[in-house]
Every structure is written in structure tokens, then in C-alpha cells.
Amino acid sequence: MEKDNLKQKNVWAIVRRVFKAYIKPYGGNLSVAIFWMVIAASMTGIFAWIIGPVMDEIMVKGNKDMILPIAGILFVCLCMRGISTYFHTVKMGIIGHSLVADIQGDLFKHMIKLDLQYFQDNHSGSLVARVISDVQVMRTALSDSLTGIGKNLITLIILVGVMFARDWVLAIAAFTIFPLAAYYVARLGKKMRNISTRTQDAIGGMSSGLSQTFQAIRQVRAFGREQFEASRSQVTLDRVKDLNIKNTKTSNLSTPVNDVLVGIILFGVIFYGGHQVANGAASAGDIMSFIAAFLMAYEPMKKLAKLNNHLNVGIGAADRVFDVMDTPLGIEKAKRLPKFKAKKSMDIVFDDVSFAYDNGETVLDHVSLTAQAGKVTALIGPSGGGKTTILNLIPRFYDVMDGCVLVNGQDVSKVSLSSLRDHIAWVSQDIVIFDDSVTANIAYGMDGASEKDIIKAAKSAFAHDFIMDLPNGYDTQLGEDGTSLSGGQRQRIALARAFLRNAPILLLDEATSALDNDSERFIQESLDKLQKGRTTLVIAHRLSTIEKADHIIVLDKGKVVEEGTHASLSRKKNGLYKQLKNASANA
């Protein structure tokens, strides 16, 4: 019982939060929508009321003088109800779609600032589902709820008023059974909320699985795993299907219950009303007007019963959305910090730095090193030695556990992230190409870049020639992840970004790994120019590309084991650098 009360408190907390943050700003539009709802509901009430005179004056008495006025009133009622329904439906649609844009915007703004660890812990498909599917479910629930609470509740109140005006005894008798229906609907709503949460989780898993399969389509084809992937996806699709079927069955359980209750009430009304008319205690018009009001009230009653189900489905989706929005920003937290003070070239110092990822495995173990200003520092060593982690800590993608990272003498944890990252150009081994034009891809991260600067950067990266051979040159759409480009072409686009950014700190994580020997030689010449006067940290799998580095740091198992120049390290007989060099030469 205590658990149910806690859940109920959470439900109302979510409802209050949604209302305060997203519905309240549209109070003006909502007021206009409610006004038209009242008009539509009033017309329905008048229609039910006028059934009495239709029966008594026209059908029973045959009063010809009343035919035109009553018919005219009915015509005006229906016209006004149609017009007012259109206006409040449009207004509610505007509010609903605006809510979607607002919630999706806030959710995406928050997600894009979350720590990298969050994205490693959650599948991209699941996150996309929260932005699109969950928010759409919220919109449907909110729109139905607002419309239901508005139009259906107002209509019900007016029609109940008509029923009491016609026969208050019948009205009281008709509503004695509804507490049972209300209890049943409330119990149904809790089931719906649980099913909704599970369904949205399943949709997120399905989105993630499909996304991974499409991204790895070459591997799927190469290993002949089409049938395997189809079978695996079918399991997820069947799970979503089963949950949706369960959702449909549960949400529609209220209909037979309501119909049975209405049947019981209608039986009693006709039985009692028929005797009243036969005994002269009521007119046929009064009873018909009552029955008409009751039957017309049945529709909003049915919608209000389903409203609870819709609301609980929406709350399940909202809970998932707010779960993301309430995730602390961590490193990206929006606190006021001084701006990073930059020079043309700057020292980068790791002072006794230790770091481990969430799995607990230590990646850096009390590492101290210096990348001198304006010099090229190369990081090499066996896989898993901590090279890429060092690069990740400089722009503060992660926070160190112990020690500190200093750039230009400033602790990176004590300056604003945006000002720090504005002075860093990064080229990763995991090249990202956006589904946009070549121009937009090169200019990514450099607002206001001119066409001349973009072309110059492309030429510096030896990308201009192959770009001009594309169907639309620099306006060519590259597709998702640049699947139309070769690995080397994708890497040159990424290098062009770094040339254009022209930052004082250059981080190269195996930036030439996808290039052939000829292309790598040309790119290396361009990198030599780009690196002049800048503080450069470079990781390379080919030792030949770092022989000219000013300083080489050898890492193994999270520790610095050697450092020096290519010449000095090559002279060490049993040094790790020399072993790596020999292994590379024999490969």
C-alpha cells in the first residue's frame, strides 16, 4: 500500500512538472481552446434539452407552429458545435505540437551536454527513442488529457445538469453505480502505466539494435549474417508486438465494463420512466430528453474513462524522459568558471595523473609528462597503454581521479569547458562524417568560415582534388557516416576540419591510419606545416610517422616507461620503443 502511495505521489509530481514547465507557457492558447470547448459542450446540452419539445410539441401534439423554431434551434446548435469543435481542436493541436518541440528541444540540449560515460552506458537507439517515441507518447497523452478534461468534462457536467433538470430522481439513481466504474478504471490505469514503460523500453532496444545493424551493414554482408540479424531483430520486434497487443487488450477493458453499466442504467431508466409516463407523472418529452442526455453523456464518460489509461501511458513515457533530463551533467555542469587564457602555443602538463573508467580498471597510474609549447609530442606503446585516454583528458572529456592536467599553467577542471575546447583541434581515429554537404562537414565547428578558407583547408589536407571529382563538388551530400567515401577520403575531410580550425593545440589520434603510403606522405607534409608553432600530441600506429617528433613518450600499462627522441630511444638495447620499432619493421 505504501509503495502504491509513493507511485501516486510520483505521478502527481510528474503531472505538476509537465504543467508548470510546458503547459503553463501556453495558458493564452489553452484559455481560448477552453472557451470553444464550453461553446461546443453548451450546444450539446441544448441539443439534448430540445429533444423534449421535439417529442412533446411535434411528435405527440403535432404543433406545426413549433416545427420551424425547434428545427432552426437544432440546426444552429449543430453548426455552432461543429465550428467550435474545429477551433478548440486546432488550438489543442497547436499546443500539443508545440509541447513536443519544447520537450524534445530541452531533452536534446540536456543530452548533448551529458558526460561521454553516459553515452557509453546507453545505446544510441534507446536515446533516440526517448527523444522521438517517448515524447510523442507524452504529446498524445497530454493532448487527450487536456481535451478530455476540457471538452468531455464540461460536456458531461452540462448533460448531467440536463438530466437533473428533467428528473432528479432518475439522475441520482443513474449515478450511484459509477463509483465502482471509477475504481475499476483507476486499477486499470496502474497496469497501463507499467505496460507503457516496458513498451517504450522495448522500442528503445529495438531502435538501438536496428541502428547498429544498419551502421555495420558491410560487416553483416561480409560475414553472411543477414539471416542471423533478421532472426535477432525478429525477437525484439515480437516483444514490442506482444507488449502493444497487451496494451491494446488492457486499454480496451474499460469499454465492456462501461457498456454493461450503461446497459443496467438504461434498463432502469426505461423501466422507471415508462411507468412515470404511463401514470402521467412525466411527459414523454421529459423522459426522451433525459435518455438523450444520458446517451450523449455516455461518449464523454467513455472518453474520460479511457483518459485515465492515456494519462498513465503518457506518465510512463514522461518518467523515462525526465529520467534523462534529471541525469546530472557532471563534467559538463553549467557552473560559472573563468575563461581559459590562451597563447599561440602552450605547454600541456600531466601532474601525477591517475584515471580509471567506470569498470574500475586503472588506465593511467600516476602519469607525469609534459608536451612542450610549439613542439610535437608523440605517444606510443602497446594497445591499452593509455594513449587515447591522455588525449581525452586534455579537452576534459573525463575528469582525472588524482593529480591534475595543466594547459598553459591552468588546471583544466577550473576553467570553462567552452573556452578550453575553443583552442583545441581534434582528429580522431574514429572519423565522423555527417549526412550533409562537403562544405558543412569541413566547416563543422568553425562558424562563419568562408568558402575560400574551406577550399584552402581542403587543399592543405589533399582533399580538394577528390572533392572536385564528386557529383556536386563541395555541395555533394556525403550520406550517413560518409559511406560513399573511402576510408582515406573520410580521414582527409577530418584533417581539413583541423586545418580550418587553426587551433593552438592539435590532438591527432592515429589521424593517418586510413591513408595509403602515398597519401600519408603528402598528408604528413601538410601536418608538418600545421604543427609548426602549435602544441601537438600525436598517436600513430606507424612509427615512421613520428620519427621527426620533438619528443616521444612510451606508455605501457598506464605508466610512462620511456621518453626521449627517436634517436635516443633507438639506442636503448632492451627498450620498449626499440622493440616496437623492430616489430613494425618486420610487419
When mean pLDDT is compared across 5-14, 41-50, 113-122, 147-156, the lowest value belongs to 5-14
pLDDT attached to residue 540: 77
Q: Closest by alpha carbon to 206, among 245, 232, 226?
A: 232
Residue 363: how many CB atoms within 10 A of its CB?
A: 23
Average pLDDT over residues 153-163: 79
| Planar angle of CA 316, 321, 325, nearest 5 degrees | 145
pTM across the whole model: 0.66
Portions of the chain given CATH number 1.20.1560.10: 2-332
Q: pLDDT tens for residues 253-307?
A: 666 766 677 677 767 667 776 767 677 766 677 777 777 777 777 677 766 766 6
Could you identify the residue written with the cell 426522451? Answer: 288
Q: pLDDT tens for residues 544-556?
A: 778 888 899 988 8
3-state DSSP assignment of residue 535 = strand
CA distances from 20 to 16, 23, 218, 229, 427 (A): 6, 6, 48, 44, 43
Could you identify the residue written with the cell 620519427? Answer: 547
pLDDT attached to residue 4: 45
Portions of the chain given CATH number 3.40.50.300: 344-423+505-510+537-587, 428-502
Query: Does pLDDT of 400 surpass 60?
Result: yes
Q: How far apart are CA 181 and CA 259, in angstroms?
A: 11
Query: Does pLDDT of 142 surpass 80?
Result: no
pLDDT attached to residue 223: 60
Are 577 and 569 spatial neighbours (Cβ–Cβ below 8 Å)?
yes
Average pLDDT for the chain: 77
Are 546 and 566 spatial neighbours (Cβ–Cβ below 8 Å)?
yes
The helix/strand count (H/E) of the chain reads as 22, 10
Q: At what angle do helices 27-53 and 135-147 cross, to 10 degrees?
A: 40
Q: Name the CATH topology of 2-332.
A: ABC transporter transmembrane region fold (1.20.1560)
pLDDT attached to residue 2: 36
pLDDT attached to residue 181: 62
Query: Does pLDDT of 3 surpass 50?
Result: no
When mean pLDDT is compared across 83-87, 180-184, 479-483, 541-545, the lowest value belongs to 180-184
Q: How far apart are CA 141 and CA 319, in angstroms?
A: 13
Q: pLDDT tens for residues 334-350?
A: 555 566 666 666 889 99
pLDDT attached to residue 28: 86
Q: Which residue has the higher pLDDT, 40 or 189?
A: 40
Query: Does pLDDT of 235 surpass 70?
Result: yes
- CB-facing half-sphere around the CA of 243: CA atoms within 13 A: 21
Are 220 and 213 spatial neighbours (Cβ–Cβ below 8 Å)?
yes
Q: What percent of the chain has pLDDT over 90?
A: 3
Q: Which CATH architecture has domain 428-502?
A: 3-Layer(aba) Sandwich (3.40)
Q: How confident is the model at residue 221 (pLDDT cuts 50, 70, 90)?
A: low
pLDDT attached to residue 350: 92
Q: Which residue has the higher pLDDT, 248 or 60?
A: 248
Q: Which residue has the higher pLDDT, 527 or 421?
A: 421
Taking only Cα atoms into account, the Rg of the chain, rounded to an integer number of angstroms, comes to: 35
Q: Name the CATH topology of 344-423+505-510+537-587.
A: Rossmann fold (3.40.50)
Q: Which residue has the higher pLDDT, 115 or 560?
A: 560
pLDDT attached to residue 178: 59
Beta-sheet strands, E only, within 302-401: 348-356, 362-371, 376-380
Q: What percent of the chain has pLDDT over 70?
A: 75
Query: Does pLDDT of 383 surpass 80?
Result: yes
